[in-house]
Structure 1
Amino acid sequence: SESPPKFNVVPKTTTQQPGSKVKLRCSGSPRGAKLSWYHNGQPLSSNPVPGVFVRKNGKKLIIERFQRSKSDHHVGMYQCAVTSEAGSIISPPAYLHLAEIAKFKTDVPQKVKVLQGNTAIIPCVPPASKPAARVQYRHEGKWIRNSTERILITPSGNLQIANITLDDWGLYKCAAVNPVTLHQRVTNTSKVKIDGKLNQHPAQIVYPPSHKTLSVQRGSEVLLECVSSGYPTPTVTWRWDQGQLDTAKRVLDNLLLSDVQPSDSGIYTCSAENGKNARVKVNYILTVTDSSSITQGPEDTATTAGLNVTLTCRTTGSPKPDVHWLHNTKPVVLDERHFQQDSDLAIHEIQPTDAGMYQCVASNTLNTAMAQAWLKVEVPKGYPTVETSPSNVATEAGEIAVFACKISGSPEPDVQW
């Protein structure tokens, strides 16, 4: 009997070193289901990629030597499809990335002058890296690889040194390390100079130099940086335009938000004052994004030819997901019988060719979510059925072209072209 296809294992996004051997896995049911693979939307069976091999009846995709070049492009999107007598479904995209790290975009030596007892900040914007680079610093030949109670390597890559003393004077280098290849990029030297003259200085915020807009993913940890200077040492406070900062933690003068949710979005204000001038402040405009999710997917449906069916798909996510539908892994062509109502798919006057597997695909900038349903179509006895469809014909000018179309049904159907 027919059984709808399902995935047991789907390929996962991964980042690999150049020259490494890569394995992607896929398995499905029911027993005897056929597995096939796609690269950048094209079936590998008809569009093979050099160096890419499908093994064990499709359960493994192997790249013997992962590389990226004009003639041998292994990076990109991979998907697995499962086909049974009921129809076909395709897996969410899995991306294969090449581990690499670029050079620093800006590499200008910096001079950092800071009042003794204040917090110094050495800005460092890590270069583009897959996966994200790990940042460390070298001070006078000694490596600073981890944060301490007084020294903080921030997620953005900056180095903050609180309660700075003359021992912190000297030369600093920022290094970014790719965690997969261990390839390291190092900036030019930054020089930190300590001003030991404790004259009165008005409060100012030295980082960030202006208001910042941040977009972060739900569930992540966010450090809002705020570094001030002045003498006496300024007092730093934080405010949130949406309410109390009950769960936020202070790390030095920075604000740490853990497990952020969309409800944590808003404007966060860092203020500094030391009594020598008006309060100074800077704003962070924080937006929390959320992965695409299907909260109510379509259900398996049995219907009769000629009736109408609506397949349901309810989604959440921020940004709002884009939704489209697949029928046996192919995009549903919207026409006078197939149309999308918000994210639902309506099919009018169901035909036997509408039978098969349907997938709702919801995508935003973070991910792709998919849900499936099996549409079974019962054809009443005598229902008009297309047994032979017209096919392409090659002919010459002046000759007769014949398109064949065989229809069965009782009573005999009326055929129109």
Structure 2
Amino acid sequence: MHGDADVTPYFVSELNSTVQKPGVPVTLSCPAELPWSHISWLFNGRLVEKTSDVDIQPGNLTILSLGLHHAGRYQCMINSSDGSIISTPANVSVAYLGDFDLASRVNVEAEEGSTAIITCGIPPSVPPAQIHYRVRGKWLDKSTDKYFILPSGNLQIVNVTLEDRGPYRCAVYNPVTHERKISPSVYKLAVTGSSHSDFIPVQPVLTHHVSVHLNETVTLECAAGGVSAPHVSLV
């Protein structure tokens, strides 16, 4: 006998969320200070029982083959003579990568010395997809001092020159499913002579709507170019 009824149960850490591709086994380990023999599991607030596709062992819950119906919020619960405590929720998500919209040809115009934005319509992805751009015949998978892949997936080109003219393509890569998809759309950048304006606002091709949970960090993008460093403010 360990006398666990005489000790207040507690968790040593948080239950870890996970994103996995369909069909793989997923094991959640209850972060309880052992030994606790009375551990149960909740799925979206309801008690989980052992089934043909969900195995429950002391301290562990294993999904034998991950499917969409397994995606949701999991918690483990310790029961003792002093009562019950429930862990913080862990989200189990099924990885996937959506498709691009139908092919289109998008024309973008920018002045020499200004900033241009190439807006790629990023398909839905869990986890968020990595964005790549084909620039001057080569695939770019990270930002450089001239080309910035923004959090929205847009490509920002600073100090535009005539050499930046031409077609651009974008692609997405899901690091969990290892899928890679190339957008069927082509983005053609035309470069015009500079008007020597001190401030040139740049408008993205598409409008983006951002939804975040309370207390999460949100990034709002604004691009501008000009001969001197402009002062940019949000209105």
Give the TM interval when normalised to the shorter protein: 0.7 to 0.9
Map 1:380-399 onto structure 2 (within 5 A).
none
Partner of 2:79: 83
Deviation at 1:31, TM superposition (A): 3.7
2:231 to 234, 237, 251: 237
Q: Provide the TM-score with structure 1 as the length reference.
A: 0.49
Q: Partners in 1 of 2:201 and 2:94 — Cα distance?
A: 39
2:203 aligned partner, one-letter code:
Y
Partner of 1:62: 62
Are the counterparts in 1 of residues 114 and 200 from structure 2 also a CA contact under 8 Å?
no
Report the secondary structure of 2:32's partner residue. strand
Q: Partners in 1 of 2:20 and 2:13 — Cα distance?
A: 20
Are the counterparts in 2 of residues 3 and 85 from structure 1 also a CA contact under 8 Å?
no
Are the counterparts in 2 of residues 5 and 82 from structure 1 also a CA contact under 8 Å?
yes
Identical amino acids, percent of aligned pairs = 33
Q: Partners in 1 of 2:209 and 2:97 — Cα distance?
A: 25
Q: How many residues align?
A: 229
Q: Partners in 2 of 1:190 and 1:213 — Cα distance?
A: 22
Deviation at 1:222, TM superposition (A): 3.8
Deviation at 1:143, TM superposition (A): 0.4
1:34 aligned partner, one-letter code:
H
Q: Partners in 2 of 1:27 and 1:54 — Cα distance?
A: 15
Partner of 2:190: 193
Partner of 1:321: none
Partner of 1:114: 110
Gaps (5+ residues) in structure 1?
A: 239-268, 270-282, 285-417
Map 1:80-229 onto structure 2 (within 5 A).
80-105=76-101, 108-187=104-183, 188-195=185-192, 197-199=193-195, 203-207=199-203, 220=217, 222=219, 224-228=221-225
Deviation at 1:123, TM superposition (A): 1.3
Q: Provide the TM-score with structure 2 as the length reference.
A: 0.82
Deviation at 1:16, TM superposition (A): 0.6
Report the secondary structure of 1:167's partner residue. helix
Partner of 1:408: none
Partner of 1:289: none
Deviation at 1:118, TM superposition (A): 1.7
Deviation at 1:11, TM superposition (A): 2.5
1:64 aligned partner, one-letter code:
L
Gaps (5+ residues) in structure 2?
A: none
Q: Partners in 2 of 1:139 and 1:210 — Cα distance?
A: 20
Q: Partners in 2 of 1:215 and 1:100 — Cα distance?
A: 20
Q: Partners in 1 of 2:32 and 2:22 — Cα distance?
A: 30
Partner of 1:12: 16
Report the secondary structure of 2:163's partner residue. helix
Deviation at 1:223, TM superposition (A): 6.0
Q: Partners in 2 of 1:139 and 1:79 — Cα distance?
A: 46
Deviations 1:182-225 (A, max 9, x none): 21232211111122x34566954222589998676768584632
Partner of 2:6: 2
Are the counterparts in 1 of residues 131 and 141 from structure 2 also a CA contact under 8 Å?
yes
Deviation at 1:105, TM superposition (A): 4.7
Are the counterparts in 1 of residues 173 and 180 from structure 2 also a CA contact under 8 Å?
yes
Are the counterparts in 1 of residues 166 and 189 from structure 2 also a CA contact under 8 Å?
yes
Q: Partners in 1 of 2:181 and 2:135 — Cα distance?
A: 16
* Higher RCO by CA contacts (8 Å cutoff, separation 6 or greater): 2
Is the alpha carbon distance of 1:207 and 1:198 closer, same or farther for their aligned partners in structure 2, counting shifts above 3 Å?
closer
1:171 aligned partner, one-letter code:
P
2:115 aligned partner, one-letter code:
T
Report the secondary structure of 1:28's partner residue. coil
Deviation at 1:137, TM superposition (A): 0.1
Q: Partners in 2 of 1:97 and 1:220 — Cα distance?
A: 21
Q: Partners in 2 of 1:156 and 1:18 — Cα distance?
A: 26
Deviation at 1:87, TM superposition (A): 1.4
Are the counterparts in 2 of residues 112 and 192 from structure 1 also a CA contact under 8 Å?
yes
CA RMSD of aligned residues (A): 3.0
1:147 aligned partner, one-letter code:
S
